[in-house]
Structure 1
Amino acid sequence: MKNFKILILLNLFIFLTSCSSDSDNNFENKQNETISSSNNNTFSRTESNDITQLGNDEQFQLFINNEYDLIKNINDKEALNLIYSDNNLTEDELNTFYSITGFDSESSFINYYNSQLELLRNLDNKYNFNKYSQEELKLILINALEQFYNNSLVSRAGPCERKLRNEMVIIAAEAYAAHLACGLADLSVIGGVICHSAVVVWHAASNDNAILDYENCIKK
């Protein structure tokens, strides 16, 4: 049975864990950097496809809504954390992953993710993500995701809720940048399936840890 190292796959986009500490300060700093960069025309873009409008793009909104629902509806957090904790993704764990994310088979997951990748390809055609560095792309995604998470995640503005929102925005931005790093081709080879699956596992486990931090925060 083949084993696939999640962390080896995630080395394709090592930036996934670069923003995990001091989330409030990091988030605010990144927002300021994004606004400043945009005002100074740091990002090369065409007039008709302004990357600062990514958050208003209907296809981007559909992509993040689908991903948000996928992560939110994982039905066995214990199994998820077991998959993530050993840094391996075996064939058996992949089957478990498909099950806890609501898919009855690998082919069902592939069909779903091919639809998601079609959305990303359309977005890439509009905004040419490749012309941005990974760090620039994270800043762009953080800016685009802020409104979605403001509307979807918290209705109150206390410090614990703000911390949770900021952490989840950064996690989502890193995950979506990682999906881009996995490549946008249809999932016709095992490497693509493994790569995108590993990102979903990381995204869901990181969200779960953020929620645990939030629950501890509100107890204080």
Structure 2
Amino acid sequence: MKKSLLAVVLTGTLFLSSCASDEQNFNDVEARSQSKVENSMQMKSAQSIASDQKVIDFFMNEKRFMNKAKSEEEVFALDAEETLDDKQNKFYAVFNTSETEFHNYVETQRELKNYIEETYHLGDLDGGVRAEILTPVMEIVHPEIVESFSDCRGVYIAKLALNASVAYGAHVACLTADVTVIVGALCHSAVLVGQAAANYIALDEYRTCIKNK
């Protein structure tokens, strides 16, 4: 039986806390450099973000990586492993990757994330605001969602944007773990598992919406 989104979030939170040496103070994250954030976002609209190829690349890379998962069931079963080593080894197997390939992926994403932060400061924004900004990005990243029931599509895109927003904030929080390659990999993999699981839930709800039309 599939977990609720709350269970997924709690699992991801517990896993992340076991990987990081210090807890992230999200109030401080949201509060820092507010004047810089406000000035930046006044100059750069959501439309400009959606037209930035490096932003698109970051979220397209995420989509491609999560699409490599063998099955929805195996993603939801990942947290059943008892040790961090078991979790990581199973993660590589479920997402059809290797330790080296994943480290390369994390490094590529880190470079793109650094650009996004320097340019748009998305990590400093409230999660809901960030989700709104990422909505047009999700429409570009997920062009396959073209059915005519705009209400179902709109809700699905909004949920993908929210999941992407939460995951992005978590990846930014993983920066403290990145000082150690292994711990950083554990942190980022936990975020990807949580995002993939949340996206599967959103997809199931989208399909149900279409079916009920």
CA contact (8 A) 2:131 2:158 kept: no
Which secondary structure state, in structure 2, belongs to the residue aligned with residue 199 of structure 1? helix
Q: Give per-residue Cα distances to partners, 1:188-211, cap 9 Å, x unaligned.
A: 433211111111000000011111
Structure with the largest fraction of helix: 2
Residue 6 (structure 1) aligned with residue 1 (structure 2)? no
Decide which of 86, 93, 101 is 2:95's aligned counterpart.
101
Residues 2-151 of structure 1: matches in 2 within 5 Å?
6-8=12-14, 9=16, 12=24, 43-45=38-40, 50=44, 52=46, 53-84=48-79, 86=80, 90-103=84-97, 105-129=98-122, 132-133=124-125, 135=126, 138-149=128-139
Alpha-carbon distance in 2 for matches of 1:194, 1:67: 16
Deviation at 1:126, TM superposition (A): 2.3
Structure 2 residue aligned with 1:27: none
8 Å contact kept, 2:122–2:130: no
Contact 1:7 1:87 in 2 (8 A): no
**Conservation of the 8 A alpha-carbon contact between 2:163 and 2:199:** yes
2 CA distance for matches of 1:217 and 1:89? 38
Mapped pair 1:200 → 2:195:
no
SS in 2 for 1:152: coil
Displacement after TM superposition at 1:82 (Å): 0.5
Distance 1:138 1:192 in 2: 26
1:177 and 2:174 equivalent?
Answer: no
Note if contact 1:114-1:187 (Cα within 8 Å) is conserved in structure 2.
Answer: no
Could you state the TM-score of these two structures normalised by the residue count of structure 1? 0.70
Cα deviation 1:54-103 (Å, max 9, x = unaligned): 2222211111111111122312221111114x496631221121122221
Answer with 186-195 or 197-206: which moved more. Answer: 186-195
Q: Contact between 2:135 and 2:157, CA under 8 Å: does it hold in 1?
A: no
Q: Could you tell me how far 1:109 is from its partner in structure 2?
A: 0.6
Instruction: Indicate the RMSD between aligned Cα atoms, in angstroms.
Output: 3.2
Kindly tell me the number of residue pairs found equivalent between the two proteins.
Answer: 185
Distance change in 2, residues 1:161/1:148 (3 Å): closer
TM-score (norm 2): 0.72
Please list the CA deviations of residues 140-190 of structure 1 after superposition, one character each: whole Å capped at 9, or x if unmatched. Answer: 343234244266242124132322222112111211122112118856433
Amino acid at match of 1:97: F
Counterpart contact for 2:76–2:197, Cα < 8 Å = yes
Please tell me whether the aligned partners of residues 63 and 119 of structure 1 are also in contact (alpha carbons under 8 angstroms).
yes
